[in-house]
Amino acid sequence: MNTITSLETDDGRTVTNHNEKATLLLEEYKKRMGCSSNPTMLYNLSELIQPSGDLEHLSRPISTLDIDKVIKQMPVDKAPGPDGFNGLFLKRCWDIIKEDIYTLCFDFFNGTLNLEAINSSYITLVPKVHNPTSVNDFRPISLLNGTLKIITKLLANRLQTRIITLTHTNQYGFIKNRTIQD
């Protein structure tokens, strides 16, 4: 098991106590992440966003074929989330669990799913360097539940069919086949 045996503080002190390390990490990432607030909208979105017709298919009901496609596309070697399930588990046990996953996805799209049941994640620290000694030597990542990944991919697949026509031609980030290298 990998553990963080010690961390060096900004003032050069070495911390080895578990609670002190946890506090140091929590405070540093709180500082980096900031706090959420309700910002005032300074733009008139209705003037900025051009209406686009033919979006009805984005709200059509999902099918079992849509869900099956997502499961087939899932990588088998990604880390499991808080639910303990990774792509390999989902694929190998699909015949046993598919009806439950179908129900969960249908409930989500119908608006009847309690999101608190699936909206949790583990935050883990991945070392950026071979021998990490400070908070800056770690990268936090979030391990999401497998079911949340399925729902997210269903939404992304649906949006992918229209995203190109809805974004400005100068928009490059997160658009398939429209990267800075292209």
User: Which stretch of DSSP H or E encloses residue 140?
Assistant: strand 138-144
Where are the chain's structural domains?
Answer: 1-34, 61-162
Measured distance CA(104)–CA(153) in Å, rounded? 14
Which contacts of 21-27 are long-range, i.e. CB under 8 A and separated by 24 or more positions?
A: 24/135, 25/125, 25/135, 25/138
Query: What is the average per-residue pLDDT within 106-132?
Result: 87
Q: Which has more confidence, 119 or 139?
A: 139
- Say what the pLDDT of residue 178 is: 66
pLDDT in tens, 13-43: 999 999 999 899 888 888 887 766 777 878 8
pLDDT tier for residue 99 given thresholds of 50, 70 and 90: very high
Q: With 50 as the cut, is the pLDDT of residue 109 above it?
A: yes
pLDDT in tens, 74-98: 998 887 777 778 889 999 999 999 9
Q: How many residues does the chain have?
A: 182
Tell me the two tokens of residue 41.
Answer: 């909208």
pLDDT tier for residue 181 given thresholds of 50, 70 and 90: low
- Say what the pLDDT of residue 69 is: 95
Tell me the two tokens of residue 51.
Answer: 């209406």
Q: Is 159 helix (H, G, I), strand (E, B) or coil?
A: helix
Q: What is the mean pLDDT of the chain?
A: 84
pLDDT tier for residue 166 given thresholds of 50, 70 and 90: confident
% of the chain at pLDDT higher than 90: 34
Q: Smallest Cα–Cα separation from 75: which of 127, 146, 126, 123? A: 146
Tell me the two tokens of residue 9.
Answer: 């503080």
